[in-house]
Amino acid sequence: MKTVSFEQYLNNNNLNNNKVNNSHLVPYSFIRRQLGSLIREPEQALELLAQHDIPASVLTSEGYIESEKLGNLANSVWRQLDDESAGASAKKLHVGSFKMLCHACSDCKTLRSVIHRTMTFFRLLSDEYRFALEVKGEEAIFILRHRPETQTTQEKAGVNNDYFILCLAIVFIRWFAWLIDQQLKLERVEFEFSPFAAQQDFEAIFQSKVDFSQTDNRLVFAASMLNQAVVAEQEKLPSLLISAPFCFLSHYQQQNSTAEQVRKILSQSEDFSRMKLADLAARLHFSPATLTRKLKAENTSFMDIKDRTRKHKALTLLRTTEQPVTSISYELGFSEASAFTRAFKKWTGENPLEYRNSYRNS
């Protein structure tokens, strides 16, 4: 069986800060939330910031700082609190919990079994974790529900669980990618909370469209990925555990990848459905052949990104407007509503009206 170390994973997926994107920045709001309950202890908070060469101004102003400092700060906060949720959980998530999860999943053969084992692991830790995996049509939906048994702990600590959910999503997606030795390409990401940073800051993390104020926290990817084999062997686990899970918070993919540029152009275009490869290549000052080659090197294609954009626009229009299905289908480039309905059911397992009604009733 193929083996992969954590260092190899970072290199293979353009996540090694020493190799690529060395200066990736995260917003100050991430730093403030990473302090967790220590935000109510000014002396301790300032001492920790100073230890990691983070200016005190992050507490009172807006700006950006190196992602590596966020990862290192996370490690210190978790250890000081003995809580990898930094106070967001009613029951402490003791330091070492993620490492034990890695050991618990060490004999899993597929990504599906890893996710199911992860759900069981967290359920055993506390009833406040209610994770779920759903498969609808071509989509796998990993749902991260966190319902603390009481809000008293959070209220006293002055924290909520929005940043904790974000951290869980980041850690899980990158850990899964390490296990299967390939990027887990997300169709979309949905969060219950409101954004506490700019939209592009979240989309840079997930390399995907991110929606907020939704009915659940969802990581959506191709259902076919559930059958991907786990290729990280047991003897490679120590290389990950030396720095997990905080290492996943400091390693980012390139924001300026060709695929990301294509996705942004399509998502911001009013008539994206009519946009052809040649049109988009011209916008990026490439020949069509060069653009195709660059996207292939990133394990995607123009049509793949366009289809993902079409799907996301369909979901957004059904959730946020009263537009008739026929109108939406034409706007998205379908020749007739029945073709759109078939495609939508293949994507999500529901027809458009079922999706709209289930969203509004949830």
In a domain, 68, yes or no: yes
Q: Which residue among 188, 218, 249 closes a domain?
A: 249
Residues 211 and 335 in one domain: no
In a domain, 172, yes or no: yes
Task: Render pLDDT for 253-288 as a digit per residue (tens, 0 to 9).
Answer: 555 688 888 988 998 888 888 899 999 999 999 999
Q: Report how far residue 36's alpha carbon sits from residue 216's, in angstroms, rounded to the nearest whole number.
A: 22
Residue 249 pLDDT? 66
Residues 231 and 267 in one domain: no
Confidence at 186, pLDDT banded by 50, 70, 90: very high
In a domain, 1, yes or no: no
Q: Which helix (H) or strand (E) segment is 132 a member of?
A: strand 132-136
Residues 306 and 186 in one domain: no
- Tell me, what CATH number does 295's domain have? 1.10.10.60
Task: Render pLDDT for 211-261 as a digit per residue (tens, 0 to 9).
Answer: 999 999 999 999 999 999 998 866 666 666 666 666 666 555 555 688 888
If one compares 62 and 11, the residue with the highest pLDDT of the two is: 62
Task: Render pLDDT for 298-323 as a digit per residue (tens, 0 to 9).
Answer: 888 999 989 988 988 999 899 889 99
Confidence at 52, pLDDT banded by 50, 70, 90: very high
Whether the per-residue pLDDT at 83 is higher than 90: the answer is yes
% of residues, the chain, pLDDT over 70 = 84
Q: Report how far residue 154's alpha carbon sits from residue 63's, in angstroms, rounded to the nearest whole number.
A: 26
In a domain, 316, yes or no: yes
HSE, CB side, 13 Å, CA atoms: give it for residue 192: 15
Residues 61 and 179 in one domain: yes
Residues 269 and 214 in one domain: no
Q: Report how far residue 209's alpha carbon sits from residue 218's, in angstroms, rounded to the nearest whole number.
A: 12
Largest CA distance in the chain: 63
Residues 245 and 264 in one domain: no
If one compares 360 and 60, the residue with the highest pLDDT of the two is: 60
CA neighbor of 297 nearest in space, from 247, 251, 262, 249: 262
Confidence at 11, pLDDT banded by 50, 70, 90: very low
Residues 266 and 219 in one domain: no
Based on the number of CB atoms within 10 Å of its own CB, is 160 exposed (0-12), middle (13-18) or buried (19 or more)? middle
Q: Could you tell me whether strands 132-136 and 210-211 are parallel, antiparallel, or unpaired per DSSP bridges? A: unpaired
In a domain, 264, yes or no: yes
Residues 58 and 205 in one domain: yes
Task: Render pLDDT for 126-146 as a digit per residue (tens, 0 to 9).
Answer: 999 999 999 999 999 999 999
In a domain, 185, yes or no: yes
Whether the per-residue pLDDT at 2 is higher than 50: the answer is no
* Single pTM value for the model: 0.79
Q: Give residue 202's domain range.
A: 6-249
| 3 state DSSP class of 143 | strand
Residue 147 pLDDT? 87
Domain count, the chain: 2
Q: Could you tell me whether strands 139-143 and 132-136 are parallel, antiparallel, or unpaired per DSSP bridges? A: antiparallel
Task: Render pLDDT for 317-355 as a digit per residue (tens, 0 to 9).
Answer: 998 899 999 999 999 999 899 999 999 998 888 999 998
Residues 100 and 227 in one domain: yes
- CA distance readout (Å), 177 to 55, 99, 158: 33, 16, 33
Q: Could you tell me whether strands 210-211 and 186-190 are parallel, antiparallel, or unpaired per DSSP bridges? A: parallel
* H helix runs in the chain, sequence order: 6-12, 28-34, 42-51, 67-81, 97-104, 111-125, 152-157, 162-180, 199-206, 237-241, 258-268, 277-283, 288-297, 302-320, 325-331, 337-348, 352-361
Residues 87 and 214 in one domain: yes
Confidence at 194, pLDDT banded by 50, 70, 90: very high
Residues 182 and 165 in one domain: yes
Residues 20 and 38 in one domain: yes
Confidence at 1, pLDDT banded by 50, 70, 90: very low
Q: Which residue among 249, 276, 297 closes a domain?
A: 249
In a domain, 31, yes or no: yes
Residue 218: strand pairing partners: 143, 190
Q: Which residue among 227, 249, 271 closes a domain?
A: 249
Residue 256 pLDDT? 62
Confidence at 67, pLDDT banded by 50, 70, 90: confident
Based on the number of CB atoms within 10 Å of its own CB, is 16 exposed (0-12), middle (13-18) or buried (19 or more)? middle
| DSSP of 287-344 | -HHHHHHHHHHTT--HHHHHHHHHHHHHHHHHHH----HHHHHHHTT-SSHHHHHHHH
